[in-house]
Amino acid sequence: MPSHHTHLPSSDPLHAHAVGAHVAGMDVLSVLAGIVLALYFVGVVRRLRRGAPWSVFRSTSFAFGMGLVLAALTPPLAMLGHTDLRMHMVQHLLLGMLGPLGIVLGAPVTLALSQLAAPSARRVVRVLHSRPVRLLAHPVTALVLNIGGMAALYTTPLFARMLHDPALHFAVHVHFLVAGCVFSWAIAGTDPGPARPGYTHRIVALFVAIAAHATLAKVMFAYGFPRDTPFDAEATQDAAKLMYYGGDLSELVLAIALFTRVHAKRARAMAKVPAHVARAG
């Protein structure tokens, strides 16, 4: 362990074991992420060979998002995330916010549906339309999972427990990744989303998410959360600031993605209305 990270006693054998197990868990996730990334590009190449177009923006976005997730899972960052709260926060931003946004804007489900044989594609669609997925994919559920999960992690003893429990730590990272993907998908996804409500509804959900995220970050800054950790007050405040500004950045991108879709829909609707009617209202 690098010597300048003095927040945790590195001589603690129990703790060293926890870090090692944790990093191993991250490796499994990295391999999975790598496989998904490879599959995506196999799909893109197959589509292009067939002459079916696939947008460069989607490919770039997916590669970028997966790249950020992989970066968050690399052993150096995974290890530092364990010993430095700031690095944990960077990891959280990459895994739970910026990475998922890139993944969702890459429309992986649309690509998969175009590549699967009809029966399998139908099965995927049936799963997407199933009641649990509809419930999960609703912006309100996604919002609660995402922000509620964060609030539960940082304002309860869960965080302190996580530092010594590799399985829990692994589960928290998986939760960040999944909840982040579901939220971005529910708000601004182009992949099929049977439970996705209208735009007004989604703008309201995004508004609540931004406000809740900003408030949570400030509460952490002001009242010193997460508590009962080996990190000093300065590191805790720095982490809260990172959460605040990093969250802003990804929410700004999410808002732009959402409004791009609103704008495109409005343009389509306007194209259907004769010009003189549109002008007169």
Partner 1 sequence: MRRNTRGKIPGVQAHTPNALLRFAVGNDLARGVAARALHRLRPMSAEKRSAWTGALIGIGMMAAVDEIVFHQVLGWHHFYDRSTLAVGLLADGLLHAAELIAIVAGFFGLLALRKRGELEGPWAWAGFFLGLGGFQVLDGVVIHKVLRLHQIRYGVPLLPYDLAWNFAGLVLMGVGLVLLVRARKQSGGGHAFAPHPSSL
Q: Interface with partner 1 by CB under 8 A: which residues?
A: 134, 138, 140, 195, 197-198, 200-201, 203-204, 206-215, 218-219, 221-222, 241, 244, 248, 251-252, 255-256, 259-260, 262-263, 266-267, 270, 278-281
Query: Are the beta carbons of 98 and 249 closer than 8 angstroms?
Result: yes
**70 vs 128, which CB is nearer to partner 1?**
128
Phi first, then psi: give them for residue 197, nearest 5 degrees.
-80, -175
Least Å distance, CB 232 to partner 1, is 18
| Residue 149 and residue 179 in contact, taking contact as beta carbons nearer than 8 Å | yes
- Report, in Å, the least distance between residue 190 CB and partner 1: 17
Complex with partner 1: residue 73 or 182, whichever CB lies closer: 182
Report the half-sphere exposure of 193 (CA within 13 A, side-chain side): 25
154, 6 contact by CB (below 8 A): no
Give least dist CB 188 to partner 1, A. Answer: 12
| Beta carbon of residue 250, minimum distance to partner 1 (angstroms, whole number) | 11
232 sits in which H/E element: none
CA 49/CA 46 separation, integer angstroms: 5
Beta carbon nearer to partner 1, 80 or 186? 186
Between 27 and 248, name the residue whose CB sits nearer to partner 1: 248
CB of 21 to partner 1, least distance (A): 37
Residue 154 or 244 having the CB closest to partner 1: 244
Q: How far is CA 257 from CA 39, 67, 248, in A?
A: 25, 19, 14
Q: At what angle do helices 166-188 and 13-50 cross, to 10 degrees?
A: 30
